Amino acid sequence: MEISTTKQFDLHRRMVRIRLFEEAAGRLAEANRLPGFLHLYVGEEAVASGVCGALNDDDHITSTHRGHGHLVAKGGDFNRMMAELMGKATGYCKGKGGSMHISDTSLGMLGANGIVGAGSPIAVGAAFANRYRGRGQVAVAFFGDGSTNIGAFHEAANMACALHLPIVFACENNEYGEFTPRHKTMAITDIVDRAAGYGMPGVIVDGMDVIAVHEAAVEAVERARPGGGPSLIEAKTYRYYNHHGIQNLGLKYRPDEEVAAWKQRDPIFTFEDRMIENGVATREKVDEIWAELKQDIETAIQFADDSPYPTPDQIMVDVYTKSSTSSTSSTTVGTKS
């Protein structure tokens, strides 16, 4: 598959944006400037970027608890993302969702999700709606290796195949379900083995190689879009930081050599080397991109810092959508709270 220069820069840009956002978020968390949990995507950038680079703006994705990368890759706005992580009123979720529920439905990003495995059934629903409307949109469910052990994944995969829906299951196999290695939680080595059980094709790709991921994604999307049905991509990848946050809470659950070995295959730096080697990019051009995007991050942090927190009167706002037919509202009596 010939990947155009424009597309290569596009994929590179998505990855760098994710890396910069996540590193900045990590630094802010270390400085106790972000409330709540933070699950960083650093190391896995090629997966979200390679897949989202194969999608149209109006295609849908569902995400995971490690969801910033998916939103960035789908075109998420740094300012609103950073503000959300800080719990500010200008954030994507007006400070009501935070890192684990960050979303932009206008970009087709149907939310990070705090429940492991829960995104896949929702992606099936989006895929159903897409076929129902017949506008040729597809849906992608991003999920981790660990979530393939939960019932929701199996139900979603089976239903998608039974209904022959336009969906791609994109597995980020980072070899750890939270702090437990994959081999302790499943008797198979490759997640892709599960695909055959539902009657869909599956492929393993190097999740540290954005081109490999992208090519597999293009093939899967091109299958799904005209009605060829679901398929599964297993991207072998790795997260550099802890399950949440950066530090390992003093407990070693991964050997240092293992982490170091994966970092040797960094998805961004290896891709940059290839681009330069192939004459697609120059070192200066690459540095320029980093510098430009770094500026965007600084702007986002400033924007988030300057933004107000939501006011307490917002607690009861958006619990319900105003009905199209009647003025129903939650009747809270007594203390009227």
Partner 1 sequence: MSDERKLSYGQAFNEAVSQMMEADPDVFCAGEDIGAFGGVFGTFLGLQAKFGEHRVVDTPISEQAIVGLGVGASVTGLRPIVDLMFMDFICVALDQIVNQAAKLKYMFGGEASLPMTITTAGGGGLSAAAQHSQSLEALLCHIPGLKVVMPSNPYDMKGLMISCIKDNNPPVMIKHKRLLGMSAVVPTEAYEIPLGKGNVLRPGTDVTIVAYARMANEALIAATELAKEGIECEIIDPRTLQPLDTDLIVDSAKKTNRVVVVHEAVRFGGLGGEIASQIQELAFDYLDAPVTRIGAPFSPVPFSPALEQHYIPDAKTILTGVREIMQRNVIRG
Binding region for partner 1 (CB under 8 A): 60, 62, 91-97, 101, 103-106, 110-111, 113-115, 118, 120-130, 132-133, 139, 151-152, 155-156, 158-159, 162-163, 317-331, 333-335
Contact criterion met (CB below 8 Å) for 204 and 234: yes
Instruction: Between 32 and 331, name the residue whose CB sits nearer to partner 1.
Output: 331
Of 238, 231, 235, nearest to 214 by C-alpha is 235
Q: Please state the closest distance from residue 110 (CB atom) to partner 1, in A.
A: 6
Q: Please state the closest distance from residue 29 (CB atom) to partner 1, in A.
A: 20
Q: Please state the closest distance from residue 100 (CB atom) to partner 1, in A.
A: 8
- For the chain, strand residue ranges (E) read 60-62, 139-144, 167-173, 176-177, 180-181, 202-206, 231-236
Instruction: Between 32 and 321, name the residue whose CB sits nearer to partner 1.
Output: 321
- Contacts of 37 by beta carbon, 8 Å cutoff, 6+ apart: 65, 98, 99, 100, 244, 245
Instruction: Between 9 and 37, name the residue whose CB sits nearer to partner 1.
Output: 37
Q: Please state the closest distance from residue 117 (CB atom) to partner 1, in A.
A: 8
Radius of gyration of the chain (CA): 20
- Contacts of 71 by beta carbon, 8 Å cutoff, 6+ apart: 63, 81, 92, 102, 103, 104, 107, 109, 112
Q: Please state the closest distance from residue 58 (CB atom) to partner 1, in A.
A: 10
Instruction: Between 61 and 286, name the residue whose CB sits nearer to partner 1.
Output: 61
Q: Please state the closest distance from residue 177 (CB atom) to partner 1, in A.
A: 17
Give DSSP secondary structure letters for 178-243. TTEEGGGT-S-S-TTHHHHHHT--EEEEETT-HHHHHHHHHHHHHHHTTT---EEEEEE---SS-S
Of 252, 37, 268, 224, nearest to 127 by C-alpha is 224
Of 200, 195, 156, nearest to 173 by C-alpha is 195
Q: Please state the closest distance from residue 9 (CB atom) to partner 1, in A.
A: 30
Locus of tokens 């890759």: 73
The one-letter amino acid code at 98 reads G
Instruction: Between 85 and 93, name the residue whose CB sits nearer to partner 1.
Output: 93
Residues in the chain: 337
- Contacts of 135 by beta carbon, 8 Å cutoff, 6+ apart: 58
Instruction: Between 169 and 262, name the residue whose CB sits nearer to partner 1.
Output: 169
Instruction: Between 32 and 325, name the residue whose CB sits nearer to partner 1.
Output: 325
CA 88 to mean position of chain CA atoms? 21
Q: Please state the closest distance from residue 233 (CB atom) to partner 1, in A.
A: 19
Instruction: Between 151 and 255, name the residue whose CB sits nearer to partner 1.
Output: 151
Q: Please state the closest distance from residue 147 (CB atom) to partner 1, in A.
A: 12
The one-letter amino acid code at 334 reads G
Instruction: Between 98 and 207, name the residue whose CB sits nearer to partner 1.
Output: 98
